[in-house]
Chains A and B, each alone.
Chain A
Amino acid sequence: MRREKLRALQPLAEPGSPEHLRVRQLRARDLLRGDLDDAELEEHVSQAVVTTSLGKLLNWAASNSMFPMTFGLACCAMEMIAVVGSPRNDLARFGAEALRASPRQADLIILSGRVSIKMAPVVRRLYDQMLEPRWAISMGACSSSGGMFANYAVVQGADKFMPIDVHVPGCPPRPEALIYGFNKLQHQIEGHPDMGWRRRYNAIGTEEWARDDVIAGQPSAAAEAAYARARQAVAESAESTGPEGPGGPPVRGAGTR
């Protein structure tokens, strides 16, 4: 059916009605065919096209296709499983239902439970194995602060050994709370272009790598030089792009500590 004929049949079609939608569909088809005229072309473009920047588009896509890691530490993991695995809560609504069993394929780690001091190096290694950009959610009181386990075996807060983007309180948090924390993380990813976690949390110069000339408690000469170069690079880039530094305003709550 021609667009003109349909419009003649329904001259007073309200926006949102099926006929209106059909007119827009036919108009889009005619646009691709090159049949759309001046005034109608203007109207179609103003209705159908949104302009944005590529960075914003990428951040929007990244925040809506997170790949969490299949990783549970304690009882909070049950709530995490309820979030991703049950149709009632269903993290697939926010595009994060694809759990990955390898840190190489994941970009989000949810610390669900207390981290013992024997587990902390393992968690840190898993986080280091994930590819940038990567994020971390600390779920529950135990991984955020040690919780009730103020004792010899548990790390008092996972942010002592790795950067955490979102802390979700609760013991354990309800699935809704974890989803809310995840939405906060999505908001952070969309609002602020990613700079890698070291830039995000002012941790340039803390890179670690295997070396031969290990003296306990002292960085090697090569490491010292590399740290100095990294700090120099950050200082120069901050000078060249103004007080806010590269990548827009600083992330809220990401001050030095």
Chain B
Amino acid sequence: MPDPPGLELIAGELRDAHAGSVLGTYHEHGQACLIVDPEQVLPVLRWLRDTPGQEYRFLASLHGVDYLPAEPRFGVHYELLNRDRVERVRVRAAVADPGGDDLPSLESCVPLFPTAEFQEREVYDFFGIVFRGHPDLRRILLPEVYAGWPQRRDFPVGGEPVVFTYNEHEVPGWSQ
């Protein structure tokens, strides 16, 4: 793990290499995280992967988070690992919700890390975050005809009311 000064060094070098890419950093529970601009996430990942001295060549995990009601609403986390030094760094793309029926989108990292293909499909499946340039962006776990993005925080928890004896007459279509 980079310690807090090491994380700031990485952030500084990234700001020099790609201006405006790093929006912030934080270091919690011994884990280092870079918050980056979603439009520059691909250059940042490539820099972390290829720069001598960094060489985070392994994408251990990719997942989405819904931070409602925070702004920007969504986060896409890339957990990078350097297997020589056993060091991990997290890159969080802060993706804003465009509102309405538009889906948030950012660049796919499949060209850099082929393992991201299924994980980006899963994030799309549950959060409705579109990865531009993904080779095959379909739902992966839910049925293809499913409507909605069920892991978003504003998705209703139960799809339908639970029917008991005392309320079965209130549930539409149940007792007819």
Contacts and interface: CB of A to CB of B under 8 A. Distances in A.
Interface of A: 117-118, 145-146, 150-153, 156, 257
Nearest to B174: A257
B175 A152 contact: no
A145 B158 CA distance: 13
A92 to B, nearest CB: 37
B155 interface: yes
Contact of B162 (A152, A153, A156): A156
14 contacts: A117-B142, A146-B162, A150-B158, A150-B162, A151-B157, A151-B159, A152-B142, A152-B148, A152-B155, A153-B142, A153-B150, A156-B159, A156-B160, A156-B162
Interface in B94-148: 141-143, 146, 148
Interface of B: 141-143, 146, 148, 150, 155, 157-160, 162-163, 174-176
Nearest to B176: A257
B163 A152 contact: no
Contacts of A257: 174-176
A151 B143 contact: no
A257 B169 CA distance: 12
Nearest to A152: B150
A146 B174 CA distance: 15
B158 A151 contact: yes
A208 B13 CA distance: 65
Contacts of A152: 142, 148, 150, 155, 159
Given A150-B160, A156-B162, 5 more contacts: A117-B143, A118-B143, A150-B159, A153-B150, A257-B174
